[in-house]
Amino acid sequence: MTDPNAIQPSELDQLPDRDPEETAEWQASLDAVAKAAGPHRAAYLMRRTLERAEGAGIALPKLLETDYVNTIPTAAEPSVPGDEEMEARITAWNRWNAAAMVTRGSKYGVGGHIATFASAAWLYETGFNHFFKGKEADGSGDQLYIQGHASPGIYARAFLDGRLSEHHLDNFRRESGGNGLPSYPHPRRLPWLWEFPTVSMGLGPLSAIYQARFNRYLTNRGIKDVSASHVWAFLGDGEMDEPESTAALALAAREELDNLTFVINCNLQRLDGPVRANFKIVQELEAQFRGAGWNVVKTLWGSAWDELFQLDTTGALVRRLRQVPDAQVQTYQTRDAAYIRQDFFGADPALAEMAKLLSDDKILDCFHFSRGGHEPRKVYAAYKAAVEHKGAPTVILAQTVKGHTLGEGFASKNANHQMKKLSVDEFKAMRDLLGLPIADSAFVDGVVPYAHPGADSPEVRYLQERRAALGGPAPARRVHPVAPLPAPAEKAFASFDKGSGAQNVATTMAFVRLVKDLVRDKETGKRWVPIVPDEARTFGMESLFPSLGIYSPKGQTYEPVDRDQLMYYKEAKNGQILNEGITEAGSMADFIAASTSYATHGEAMIPFYIFYSMFGWQRTADQMWQLGDQLGRGFLVGATAGRTTLTGEGLQHADGHSPVIAATNPAALTYDPAFAYEIATIVKDGLRRMYGEAAPGEDPNVFYYLTVYNEPMPQPAKPSGLGIDEGIVKGLYRFNTAESAGLSPAANAPRIQLLGSGTAIHWALKAQQLLAEEWGVAADVWSATSWSELRRDALEADEALLRGEERVPYVRQALQGAEGPVLAVSDYMRQVPDQIAQWVEQDYSSLGADGFGLSDTREAARRHFGVDAESIVVAALAQLAKRGEVKATAVKEARERYGL
């Protein structure tokens, strides 16, 4: 593996050396020590020398930093293949149309960002012309994570390419009428163009790392060879403040993901002002990435600086560049030559002498415009170095000017992120600067025109030829026409229908057993991707270790301590399990990559990610939203679910609200199954919908969230009768009646309907018995497998009614004719069962575990929250008493009898 911290010779060439002979002597001395006494002695002497220099106050870059200069000097830059003049014209058209699109949209008040793409235009154009492989290239092409605020520039290029029309551009951020363009990269809104959502910020970098890692996983497991694919993530320097942006840097280096490149647009500005006003963000990022083991390429200064570096015979210029904080660099970009002469060059006598040799125009050219990220030759050199580097991922730190080419009113102004339009005069100045053939007469009634050289123009032909050579349009999302996956053997699901007999089984264990059977399936077993954040033993999954193996690109280079045991810890290069360590965010990024493989790689994979339910949605709900945006498919499993089932863990571990958060996600199908056969039925139907033959009108681009419990309970046999499977999938079915439960109520007994989900159904069943035996009340028990799916169906019925269509919600159909009031109970806050209240015709009330969790026994916790069987009895009697069907004194009597 190449050492990413090593200073490359090309870096040293950029620095002045006034005595090369002396330098050579020092280097020869070091070589001699290493040869005579060994490299360890040489390293020891170097450390002591550096310590001495630091103690003497000698200014040196930190060991993880290089000087504030380009990694690749001008003399070492490769020539750019192709027509640089033609690419400059293409970039000019894109700059114009991106700014025009946002400006024209400003009259509608829909917003938009101009300055980001203006700074990053060459970062994208160089990639599109020379590096980014399309879907028709080897493997699956490249994966592009586009910086969200730069989306207008990507639309502008698609317009030049003929993939978008003026009508599309005029509907930027106006999607409701059709043919609109979403504000940012949103695959769900524009699924033929965007592959990866990158706003919210910070999720793009994290996802890009795990996508590159998943590419290796697919290749190493023999699913598909995607070794030719490269992941490019375009990021902002301000975005790197997000914890998620840097959360997985070590993973990328540890697994040597040289199929990954970060391109950080260092325009030194974030939304409100400088990224590091008093410091230097480039140097900070360099140290951070080098320390994590990445290869770092700095592309800071344009060719106009070459003359200045040649004049710097003392190193004064390099020292000064290292000293000046970012906010002052930003200031130089807006001040005149006199100010720069005094403030920058006047700080050092040697620099003052240098400045005498420079014209004002030269100084302004350097400090106002000449940045490495604005010159295609320097960007090309950086990209070429990145794709050719082996053994580590690469980050390119490209310095730019935010608002470049947009005029003095935009460039480097603190407010430019919020500035949404240019005036006509500013557009005309921009036109002249870019050399575009747009006549003044094209500005009709003060409206800036879109500009296009023509579908058969040299620019468009060149653009399309370059893309054809690289494998087709980009960015692009393509769902390959692949056959649905065959359904697993029926016996894997049917084995749960008979129940567990006398054995108590937790639903977590039931789900794990189902997965064990499904991964053995000859047709689809290899496509399962088990993901777990270092809690496999908690969930009883350790038996999968030796049979499936834990994925590691290194395989297993050691003898595991438990090798002599049946369920030993087995890592393998072709391992199937992704055990991510203690990182819910990383595990979710894994899930997103696997769940969208059907589109990214044309290979349907079936991920299931099992986690502590409290630390799934609560911690990573933003990624679940990203998952829905990216049209991901798979199973999320919240284990140890519920407010009262996880004994002893207390407030921070007791989940009483994840179904509430899940219900806010339109792509999430949330289920709270009570029994093993319900889990099997839901998973079977989920496989059909997402990976098999979806029914007409069904969206396959959904994901399932199942809550499962760690409380061992009897698993009953699946009830017989029509409609059970339909009820399980739709969210509600009658599990039993008082009569079928053998309770023999009186013919005129008061009756109530008890709705329970998840583990709460067991309390409802006990309450059913108490109501019959001690109070003469007949209760029917219903399993509510999904409160949110019942609500979603009811909302759709309401919408149909507004359109004049008669449709009865399923929950009303299911409960039609059910006698008495309805009492719903779950191990979650009452807001969960209350989702269906307005569509239930009967009197409706609910019980739930609201508030913080606490440490105690399950029984004590349930009594505390008022959801145990006795509390259900009291609540049921209270409902019946209000209706005059039991005596009011019965409620008081029951409360006293049960100690409530």
Q: Which helix (H) or strand (E) segment is 598 a member of?
A: helix 597-600
Residue with tokens 């009594």: 863
Sequence-separated (6 or more) residues with CB below 8 Å from residue 42: 30, 33, 34
User: Quick check: 583 pLDDT over 70?
Assistant: yes
Once rounded to an integer, what is the mean pLDDT over residues 298-320?
94
Per residue in 528-562, pLDDT (tens digit) is 999 999 888 889 899 999 999 999 999 999 999 98
pLDDT of residue 13: 56
Backbone angles phi, psi at 368, to 5 degrees: -95, -35
How far is the C-alpha of 723 from the C-alpha of 725, rounded, in Å? 6
Sequence-separated (6 or more) residues with CB below 8 Å from residue 887: 881
If pLDDT is split at 50, 70 and 90, which confidence band does 722 have? confident
Which ranges constitute the DSSP H helices of 38-78? Answer: 39-55
User: Quick check: 482 pLDDT over 70?
Assistant: no
3 state DSSP class of 414: coil
Sequence-separated (6 or more) residues with CB below 8 Å from residue 35: none
Comparison of pLDDT for 65 and 372, the residue scoring more:
372
Per residue in 694-707, pLDDT (tens digit) is 899 899 999 999 99
Whether 584 contacts 464, CB under 8 Å = no
Residue with tokens 């199954």: 673
**Which amino acid, one-letter code, is at 109?**
G
Nearest of 183, 305, 285, 178 to residue 241 by alpha carbon: 285
User: Quick check: 683 pLDDT over 70?
Assistant: yes
Once rounded to an integer, what is the mean pLDDT over residues 685-695?
95
Query: 671 is written with which tokens?
Result: 């289920």
Query: 619 is written with which tokens?
Result: 């911690």
If pLDDT is split at 50, 70 and 90, which confidence band does 663 have? very high
Once rounded to an integer, what is the mean pLDDT over residues 773-796?
97
3 state DSSP class of 346: helix
pLDDT of residue 449: 96
Length in residues, the chain: 900
Once rounded to an integer, what is the mean pLDDT over residues 483-500?
92
Q: In what order do the strands lie in the sheet with 778-783?
A: 733-736, 778-783, 751-756, 822-825, 844-847
User: Quick check: 16 pLDDT over 80?
Assistant: no
pLDDT of residue 10: 44
Q: How many CB atoms lie within 10 A of CB 534?
A: 12
pLDDT of residue 329: 95
How many H-runs (helices) and E-runs (strands) does the chain carry?
A: 34, 20
Cα first-last separation, the chain: 68
Average pLDDT, the chain: 93
How far is the C-alpha of 818 from the C-alpha of 782, rounded, in Å? 11
**Which amino acid, one-letter code, is at 582?**
I
If pLDDT is split at 50, 70 and 90, which confidence band does 2 have? very low
Cis peptide before 475 (omega within 30 of 0): yes
User: Quick check: 46 pLDDT over 90?
Assistant: no
Does the global pTM surpass 0.85? yes
Q: How many CB atoms lie within 10 A of CB 179?
A: 12
Per residue in 855-888, pLDDT (tens digit) is 999 999 999 999 999 999 999 999 999 999 999 9
The residues that bridge with 529 in the sheet, in sequence order, are 607
pLDDT of residue 121: 97
User: Quick check: 314 pLDDT over 90?
Assistant: no
How far is the C-alpha of 142 from the C-alpha of 133, rounded, in Å? 5
pLDDT of residue 420: 75
User: Quick check: 462 pLDDT over 60?
Assistant: yes
Sequence-separated (6 or more) residues with CB below 8 Å from residue 563: none
User: Quick check: 60 pLDDT over 80?
Assistant: no
SS3 of 294-314: CEEEEECECHHHHHHHHHCCC
Per residue in 84-121, pLDDT (tens digit) is 999 999 999 999 999 999 999 998 999 899 999 999 99
Nearest of 412, 415, 373, 433 to residue 95 by alpha carbon: 433
Once rounded to an integer, what is the mean pLDDT over residues 337-353?
96
Q: Which of 178-182, 267-271, 414-418, 770-774 has the lowest mean pLDDT?
A: 414-418
pLDDT of residue 401: 94
If pLDDT is split at 50, 70 and 90, which confidence band does 7 have? very low
Whether 225 contacts 219, CB under 8 Å = yes
Q: Which helix (H) or strand (E) segment is 617 a member of?
A: helix 617-629
The residues that bridge with 274 in the sheet, in sequence order, are 269
The dihedral sign for the CA sequence 190, 194, 198, 204: positive
User: Quick check: 8 pLDDT over 60?
Assistant: no
pLDDT of residue 796: 96
How far is the C-alpha of 654 from the C-alpha of 642, rounded, in Å? 6
Whether 828 contacts 656, CB under 8 Å = yes
Which ranges constitute the DSSP H helices of 634-777? Answer: 658-663, 676-691, 724-730, 760-775
What is the percent of the chain with per-residue pLDDT over 90, rounded to a whole number? 84
How far is the C-alpha of 734 from the C-alpha of 324, rounded, in Å? 73
pLDDT of residue 327: 95
Per residue in 219-259, pLDDT (tens digit) is 999 999 999 999 999 999 999 999 999 999 999 999 999 99
Residue 487 sits at the vertex; the CA angle it makes with 485 and 490, to the nearest 5 degrees, is 165
How far is the C-alpha of 338 from the C-alpha of 349, rounded, in Å? 16
What are the b/e assignments for 538-560, b being 16+ CB within 10 Å?
A: bbbbbebbbebbbbbbeebeeee
On the CB side of 747, CA atoms within 13 Å amount to 0
What is the percent of the chain with per-residue pLDDT over 70, rounded to a whole number? 97
Per residue in 564-578, pLDDT (tens digit) is 888 899 999 999 999
pLDDT of residue 481: 67
User: Quick check: 464 pLDDT over 70?
Assistant: yes
Query: 510 is written with which tokens?
Result: 């039931």
Query: 24 is written with which tokens?
Result: 């050579």
Residue with tokens 């003044």: 440
Whether 48 contacts 33, CB under 8 Å = no
pLDDT of residue 302: 97
How far is the C-alpha of 448 from the C-alpha of 422, rounded, in Å? 9
User: Quick check: 9 pLDDT over 60?
Assistant: no
